[in-house]
Amino acid sequence: MDVRSQVSMVFHLDKCIGCHTCSIACKNIWTDRKGAEYMWWNNVETKPGTGYPTKWENQDIYKGGWEKNGDTVSLKGAGKFKGLKNIFHNPHMPVLDDYYEPWTYKYQDLFTAPEGDDQPTARPVSLVTGEHMDVQSGPNWDDDMSGSIDYARQDVNLEKLSAAEREAMFQLERMTLHYLPRICNHCLNPACVGSCPSGALYKRGEDGIVLINQERCRAWRMCVTACPYKKSYYNWNTGKSEKCILCYPRLESGQAPACFHSCVGRIRYLGVLLYDADKIAAAAAAPDDRLVDAQMDIYLDPFDPEVIKQARLNGVADSTITAAQNSPVYKFVKVWKLALPLHPEFRTLPNLFYVPALLPTMATVSDGVYNSTSKSLWNGVESNRLPMKYLASLFSAGDTGKVTEVMKRLMAVRLHRRGVTVGDLNAAEISQALKEVQMEPDTADAIFRLTALATFDERFVIPPAHREESIEMLENTGDVKGNTGFGFKEKPVRGL
Amino acid sequence: MTNILLFAVLPYAALAIFLVGSIYRYKNRGFSVSSISSQFLEGKKLFWGSQPFHWGLFILFFGHLIAFLFPSAVLAWNGQPVRLLILEIAAFAFGLSALLGLVLLILRRLTNRRVQIVTSKMDIVVYAILLTQIVSGLLVAYHSRWGSSWFSAFLTPYLRSVFVFDPQIDAIASVTSLSLKVHVISAFALIGIIPFTRFVHFLVYPVDYLWRSYQQVIWNWSRKHIRTSRSHSEGHKSKNN
Ligand code: SF4
Ligand code: SF4
């Protein structure tokens, strides 16, 4: 057992209101620079939709992620041979137009326009070329299913649905959407790291954050292709790739990442998961129907004395183990089994988990009447507006059983809480719902609490970074004893 | 005098600048060492330019290197006229491929607005010198045929003499072929400007990727280490930064 700690995340999709505050917080801090304008380390997509960059989930186009190759996995569009062969031209790399051409407006024209009959306008100018441009698309062009023929119907996840099922989804009465906020998953088997020819990408041992060393990146662009989530971006100005850094400077000083901190819907949770690094290779190569289970098996019980012992032996700090025990992510993912990884079939073992949205999938229409008794809601889980096949394509590599199970658990919590707060439901029905998913009323209350009422410190359980120890490893603190402030640039020795 | 400047002084100046400059840039300006690819801004035309150009140059570079390092092997191969012919034609073909690629790359840079934005002055120098180098090389191959044979007999001794710090420039100086002289001179000029241009990216071609493991985990500090009091504060710098 090789116990390591990983800072991991849960996004509760039922709570996301699609306000994009998270994206803006990130943009203002990290990507408001030349060459990075088009990057959205955090972006919020509308599902069904094509996302950003367009059709990123379609690996026939972008060849991202790993594919199963017997007992192991190999990179789909990169790797030692393919990488060095394609280094002069990477055939599957997304280009600027697959994202969008960033622009601003010539605001000055509003003030300097000569007097005339027409209102002056601020025309859009490209942030790449500086020339006037016609805006063709933007990062949220398909927000709230706008232009759903061009976008929603092109969603890759619809492939698993029959034509009739697809059509049903787009009837006006049945139409539904939910938001999908995405950041880098700081994967356990990161394809970006594996694909980098110059070895610039690495995973931090202490917290599992995946970073790009800007000094070593040589613009070979392989990570851009290899990341199946398209969360590694190429800065066309500096000639270096960049990606989400999970705000590690904030984390190290005990603050939540900016997108977490600013999240209006409070959908985001962050905490430590302890995992067994020895199991990564096997889990990444698990058969499709075992993928989610195999990944869940990697994460360890932080209360298990054996795990604690091994973690200590491996140098995991006690404060980190405590953080793992209080981790909201551990509860959502392992204890309550409510959160699933996005596209586990990419085999990168992502560490961002999603509680699927229950709300828009609920009510169904028959003969133009909404059926909203609890009974029909309950029955509706399988036959609801957002087909299980669609959700399964997003969150469980096509296994509808997995998402249905999660949905039923979420529904049980909801019925139970309705019983508590409104009390208009049949008690037998509620206990039947709870029994079916083997959930105690107490558990349902705890889930409700962490979902709806959790405080800042309950949502973000950040392990101390122990920077003091880090400093001790880099230099002998005894050497700088007696120095002041930031120390001396030269050793304070007597001059000649 | 000019000959001394061009064939004795220039090589040493170029090599010295190359060595000192490249090491300095790698060590102190690491962020600037990049191929600064523009594929992100324009990807389709790049394919038709970049592939023939890079592979052509790649092969030619090693061809020259082998002729320089193992002249006798090349001469032995060329012992049979058919083999000589094959080698010459192949080399010429790669030269043409490099030229074709370069021309397409230049056209792409001239016509694509986005790529123009990321074109620096040094890129123009790079294009000029590469064009000179490839065109003069092709002219040499065409006019003074069977270069793979006379290279070993004639250029190798000169280059060797440069590398053993005893430059013998008589033979090269007495050459009448202008294209050959230009080819040699621009080759040294190219070496000399490597540290000031995007040429540096070929120095960091990532061969080590072949033997490194796919996943890389880097510990900021070793907790195991810090926990044994004997090893306390021995100073273990992380390797990555
Ligand atoms: S999401 Fe992409 S960029 Fe992030 S760690 Fe995984 S493979 Fe790398
Ligand atoms: S800030 Fe929170 S609620 Fe708003 S879009 Fe982002 S994730 Fe959703």
Angstrom CA distances, A408 to A289, A333, A358, A363, A403, stand at 20, 15, 9, 15, 9
DSSP state of A449: I
What's the CA gap between B48 and A55, in Å, rounded?
26
Of A218, A237, A240, the CB nearest to B204: A218
Query: pLDDT band at A251, cuts 50/70/90?
Result: very high
Quick one: DSSP state of residue B111? H
When CB atoms are compared, the residue of A96, A220, A469 closest to B40 is: A96
Q: Where are the domains of chain A?
A: 12-101+112-252, 284-459
The answer to whether the CB of A242 falls within 8 A of the CB of A235 is yes
Q: Do domains A12-101+112-252 and A284-459 have the same CATH topology?
A: yes
Nearest C-alpha neighbor of B148 from the set B80, B63, B62: B63
Instruction: Give CATH for domain A284-459.
Output: 3.30.70
How far away, in angstroms, is A173 Cα from ligand 2 center?
Answer: 26
Class of domain B2-208: mainly alpha
> What is the average per-residue pLDDT within A212-231?
95
At position A1, the amino acid (one-letter code) is M
Q: Do B235 and A474 touch (CB under 8 A)?
A: yes
* pLDDT tens for each residue of B71-82: 888 877 877 888
d(CA A94, CA A59): 12
Q: What is the pLDDT of residue A360?
A: 55
For residues A196 and B204, give the distance between their C-alpha atoms in angstroms, rounded to a whole number: 13
Six-digit token string for A460: 């973000």
- Which range is least confidently modeled, A367-376, A481-490, B13-22? A367-376
| Closest Cβ opposite residue B217 in set A194, A203, A476 | A203
The predicted pLDDT at position B238 comes to 41
Q: Are A449 and A245 in contact (CB under 8 A)?
A: no
pLDDT above 60 for A374: no
Alpha helices, DSSP H, located in chain B: 2-4, 10-28, 44-69, 71-77, 81-111, 113-117, 121-143, 147-150, 156-163, 170-173, 178-193, 223-227
The answer to whether the CB atoms of B40 and A221 lie below 8 A apart is yes
Pick the CATH number of A12-101+112-252 from 3.30.70.20, 3.30.565.10, 3.40.50.300, 1.10.3720.10: 3.30.70.20
Q: What is the CA angle B149-B154-B160, rounded to 5? A: 115
A21: buried, middle or exposed (CB in 10 Å: 19+, 13-18, 0-12)? middle
Q: Which of A18-27, B167-176, B210-219 has the lowest mean pLDDT?
A: B167-176
Q: What is the C-alpha to C-alpha distance for residues A270 and B208, in angstroms, rounded to an integer? A: 36
What pLDDT, in 10s, does the model give residues A405-454?
999 999 899 889 989 999 888 888 899 989 999 999 999 999 999 999 99
**Half-sphere exposure at residue A284, Cβ-oriented, CA atoms within 13 angstroms:** 25
Q: How far apart are CA B137 and CA B212, in angstroms?
A: 37
For ligand 1, whether the C-beta of A47 sits within 6 Å is no
pLDDT in tens, A156-211: 999 888 888 888 778 776 778 899 999 999 999 999 999 999 999 999 988 999 99
Beta-carbon separation of A205 and B217 below 8 A: yes
Among A221, A196, A220, A235, residue whose Cα is nearest residue A75: A196
Q: A370-379, B38-47, B80-89: which range is least confident on average?
A: A370-379
Residues 6 or more apart in contact with residue B68 via CB below 8 angstroms? B151, B155, B156, B159
Alpha-carbon span A102 to B228, nearest angstrom: 53
Q: Between vectors from CA A176 to CA A170 and to CA A182, what angle results, nearest 5°?
A: 115
**How many CB pairs lie under 8 A apart between chains A and B?**
164
- The answer to whether B233 contacts A130, with C-beta atoms less than 8 Å apart, is no
Radius of gyration, alpha carbons of chain B: 22
Closest-CA distance of chain A to residue B139, Å: 27
- Chain A residues touching B229 at Cβ < 8 A: none
* Atom 1 of ligand 2: nearest residue by CA position: A263
Q: Tens of pLDDT along A147-167?
A: 778 888 889 999 888 888 888
Please check the confidence at residue B172 and state whether its pLDDT lies above 50: yes
Across residues A484-488, what is the average pLDDT?
Answer: 63
Do residues A201 and B216 lie in contact, with contact meaning Cβ atoms separated by under 8 Å?
yes
The ipTM estimated for the assembled molecules is 0.88
